[in-house]
């Protein structure tokens, strides 16, 4: 087994990654013996302490084990899964909880957030190739598949959430940010008639697909609503306007402004949140939400990891009607 040492990582990491890669590629199989600490030290040209630390890390990760009679040996029953999401939010927590709840104990999940940083995303994927058996990934773009993901065998990769790009050959569980958004607004149309105008709050720094703006404007035009799309800092809320908030921070600001003015949510102004989470059930007697079921997304992702059966699914976008409209 060849080990590539470099200045960018420690010798412990180099030994650990080389053995991990050999196990993942089945160069080393379940039950195979590893070199003793002394023999590995001589073979790899590293200290006994380096080998011991590398073996200890591999044991912690469940890839190897040891006993007095057999020494160190491969124990590859554990399946290591990378769950690479975009950013933390309560609905992503729900996805994670439902995902891990469906997996048996010998599936170990590492949750990492890429924060829509393309360089960080590519680094995480590159460094993970020899560490994981399965990859469940939220891409950093809705319109472009990261080239880094093409280095992962298609049968080991599941794409989540974003996906308005060519996905032939890949499994995916995504949401539709365009027509499904329009359809959800149509469900809300009778309630929205209580307001003079609709306003989509769409801050410039948000990673939500820009195409949603077009479908919002199309809905307003088709149904004869006055509408605004606010892509800049807001200058204050307007009475008898219903605000559709993509970002939870904008939702909080609007509610606080309404409170300061003495306006009742659901009467003087309306509020609709994009992406549901439990707190929306209790604040202001309930905030209406447009959302896919992220818990279901987590369960379906777990099913893919377990059975490896290809899946290509767009989840429905639901309307959770509460008293904010």
Summarised one tens digit per residue, pLDDT across range 200-218 is 999 888 889 999 999 999 9
pLDDT confidence of residue 102:
95
pLDDT confidence of residue 131:
84
pLDDT confidence of residue 234:
61
Question: Of the CATH numbers 1.10.10.10, 3.40.50.970, 3.40.50.150, 1.10.3720.10, which one belongs to the domain with range 11-74?
Answer: 1.10.10.10
What pTM value is reported for the model? Answer: 0.77
pLDDT confidence of residue 60:
82
Angle in degrees, CA 126, 82, 158, rounded to 5:
90
- Find the largest Cα–Cα distance for the chain: 79
Domain with CATH 3.40.50.2300 in the chain: 79-176+294-319, 179-291
pLDDT confidence of residue 21:
84
Domain with CATH 1.10.10.10 in the chain: 11-74
Question: Of the CATH numbers 3.90.1200.10, 1.10.3720.10, 3.20.20.70, 3.40.50.2300, which one belongs to the domain with range 79-176+294-319?
Answer: 3.40.50.2300
For the chain, which residues score pLDDT lower than 70?
Answer: 76, 233-235
C-alpha separations of 179 from 185, 203, 219 in Å: 10, 21, 10
Lateral strand order in the sheet of 107-113: 107-113, 79-85, 134-138, 157-161, 171-175, 312-315
| Class of the CATH domain delimited by 179-291 | alpha beta
């Amino acid at each position: 087994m060849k080990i590539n040492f470099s200045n960018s990582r420690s010798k412990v990491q180099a030994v650990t990654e080389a053995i991990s890669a050999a196990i993942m590629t089945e160069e080393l199989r379940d039950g195979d013996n590893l070199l003793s600490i002394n023999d590995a030290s001589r073979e790899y040209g590293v200290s006994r302490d380096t080998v011991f630390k590398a073996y200890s890390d591999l044991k912690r990760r469940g890839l190897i084990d040891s006993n007095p009679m057999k020494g160190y040996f491969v124990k590859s029953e554990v399946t290591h899964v990378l769950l690479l999401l975009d950013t933390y939010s309560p609905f992503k927590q729900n996805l994670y909880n439902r995902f891990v709840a469906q997996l048996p104990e010998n599936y170990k999940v590492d949750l990492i957030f890429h924060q829509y940083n393309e360089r960080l995303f590519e680094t995480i994927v590159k460094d993970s190739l020899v560490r994981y058996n399965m990859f469940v990934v939220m891409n950093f773009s809705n319109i472009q598949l990261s080239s880094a993901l093409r280095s992962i065998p298609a049968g080991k990769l599941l794409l989540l959430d974003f996906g308005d790009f060519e996905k032939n050959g890949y499994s995916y569980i995504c949401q539709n940010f365009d027509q499904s958004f329009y359809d959800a607004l149509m469900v809300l149309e009778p309630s929205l008639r209580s307001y003079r105008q609709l306003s989509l709050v769409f801050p410039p720094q948000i990673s939500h697909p820009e195409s949603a703006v077009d479908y919002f404007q199309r809905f307003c035009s088709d149904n004869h609503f006055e509408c605004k799309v606010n892509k800049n800092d807001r200058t204050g809320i307007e009475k008898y306007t219903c605000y559709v908030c993509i970002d939870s921070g904008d939702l909080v600001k609007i509610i606080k402004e309404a409170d300061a003015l003495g306006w009742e949510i659901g009467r003087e102004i309306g509020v609709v949140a994009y992406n549901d989470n439990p707190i929306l059930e209790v604040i202001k007697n309930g905030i209406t939400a447009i959302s896919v079921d992220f818990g279901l997304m987590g369960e379906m992702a777990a099913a893919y990891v377990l059975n490896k059966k290809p899946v290509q699914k767009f989840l429905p976008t639901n309307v959770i009607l509460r008293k904010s409209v």
